[in-house]
Amino acid sequence: MVLDENIRVAFTALRANLMRSGLTALGIIIGVAAVIAVVSIVQGLQYMITGQLQNVGATFIQVVPQQEFGGPGMVQKQVRLTWEDGQAIAQHVRNVAMITPQIFGQTEVKYRDRQHRPFVLGVNNDWPEVNKFNVDRGRFFSRLDLDRRAKVAVVGATVVEKLKISEPIGAEIYVGTTPVTIIGVMESKGRSLGFDYDDMAFVPFDTALGIFGRRAGDQVQLQLQAASGESVDQVKDDVKRLLRERHRIGEDQNDDFRVMVQNEILDIYSKILGGVTAVVGAIVGVALLVGGIGIMNIMLVSVTERTREIGIRKSVGARRRDILVQFLIEAVSLALLGGIIGIALGYGVGALVVKMLPGDFPAAHVPLWAVVIAFGFCTAVGVGFGIYPASKAARLDPIDALRYE
């Protein structure tokens, strides 16, 4: 009952000075709102990236060329990663279920008198299975198409829309200056971070080399699927060993390629996004510190204003601990009030920023851990900066307090 009475008295005192209480909590509100806004945006982005990577599966592996830069005045080392490397992987590395090369770039696509510039990808017949990206209508090109060097293409829904092709299957289009026949339309994936996954056209790898030039074949990305989740590490190690041999890389030399599995790709994004959150959190920590100092200052003023009240309470039997708890409750309540408003305001700001960003930015998301940390930090600020004013009030001599004018 004593605790209930202390809580009631503390909230009565806060309601008696609503304006002052609100201004005191303003620093906490701003700090928490800024943190929650950033976390909501970053977590929404991370959820989207995680979902996309999980779609390709835990057995997905990507090999990309890794450029090496020399010192000042030195020429950059020429790095080559080719489809011949990919074919060697398919032949000599165990547990590789499928593999595809990939080169890409934007180029003009024409249909009759209409034209458009989508991303054009040069791949092989394994690309849909490797990337878990299926055909909606028609078919993807087959091994027979590749062997015959057939002039075929598969396009996304946006390409069909932009070129206004009423019957896309069988339509003749030009990719650059190369005439091809559309044999399929990919399933719709929508937009993400401003990139339209439906605004792509796929052509056989050899056809793409004719469009982009033979030098594009020296900067190929290799995408593959391991036979099972258990074999991913073995495949990764064997790919690295084989490519080091093919590229004649010495024991003391760094790789001129990078082999990444799903978790490593996700870790790269997580580190980048985590760094952004940490930097903003450190900056916002200053606002929370200022808010805590504001709470301490106002609580000291409150102790001075309510000296006679403290004297009366002590004279009728209130213990030092009761006075200490009362003022601590007031300080913590101010901090938690600021935290609650800050969380709501931060989520609103995050959602508003997402709406204002160009492209289909992922929706804001506030994880439970962020809310828990925000409340925990607010409580810590309330206790940390409220303990001194509360202890000062508790130490007041009741006789002196009653004489105070």
- Give me the sign of the Cα torsion angle 351, 353, 355, 358: negative
Query: What does the pLDDT average to over 124-130?
Result: 93
Calculate what percentage of the chain has a pLDDT beyond 90: 33
Identify the helix (H) or strand (E) that includes residue 143. Answer: helix 143-147
Confidence of residue 397 (pLDDT cuts 50, 70, 90): low
Is the pTM of the predicted complex or chain greater than 0.75? no
**318, 99, 327: which is closest to 220 by C-alpha?**
99
User: How far apart are alpha carbons 226 and 284 in whole angstroms?
Assistant: 44
From the CB of residue 255, how many other CB atoms can be counted at a distance below 10 Å? 15
Q: Residue 293, SS3?
A: helix
259: amino acid identity, one letter: V
Look up residue 65 and give its DSSP letter.
E
Token digits of residue 18 = 């609503």
* Residues ≥6 apart with Cβ < 8 Å to 232: 58, 59, 61, 226, 261
- Asked if residue 294 has pLDDT above 50, the reply is yes
Confidence of residue 1 (pLDDT cuts 50, 70, 90): very low
Amino acid, res. 350: G
User: How far lies 298's CA from each of 27, 29, 334, in Å?
Assistant: 13, 16, 10
* Token duo for residue 42: 């970053």
Identify the band that residue 160 occupies on the pLDDT scale cut at 50, 70 and 90.
Answer: very high
Helix/strand/coil (H, E, C) string of 237-275? Answer: HHHHHHHHHHCCCCCCCCCCEEEEEHHHHHHHHHHHHHH
Residue-level pLDDT at 255? 87
Measured in degrees and rounded to the nearest 5, phi and psi for residue 394 equal -65, -30
> Model confidence over 47-95: pLDDT tens digits?
666 666 666 667 889 999 986 655 444 445 667 899 999 999 999 999 9
How many C-beta atoms lie closer than 10 Å to residue 188's C-beta? 11
pLDDT at 151 over 60: yes
- Both structure tokens of 35: 């943190």
Q: 119-123 and 200-204: which strand pairing?
A: parallel
- Quick one: pLDDT at residue 28? 78
Closest C-alpha among 88, 10, 28 to residue 338: 28
Q: Are residues 328 and 386 in contact, defined by beta-carbon separation less than 8 angstroms?
A: yes
Q: Is the dihedral of CA 318, 319, 325, 327 positive or negative?
A: positive
Least confident interval from 4-8, 189-193, 351-355: 4-8
For the stretch 192-244, pLDDT in tens is 666 788 999 999 999 999 999 888 889 999 999 998 888 888 999 999 999 99
- CA distances 362 to 103, 190, 194, 298, 353, Å, are 27, 12, 10, 41, 11
Beta strand segments in 32-95, E: 60-65
| Cα dihedral 24, 27, 32, 33 in deg (nearest 10) | 100
Question: Minimal CA–CA distance to 63: which of 45, 51, 81, 88?
Answer: 81
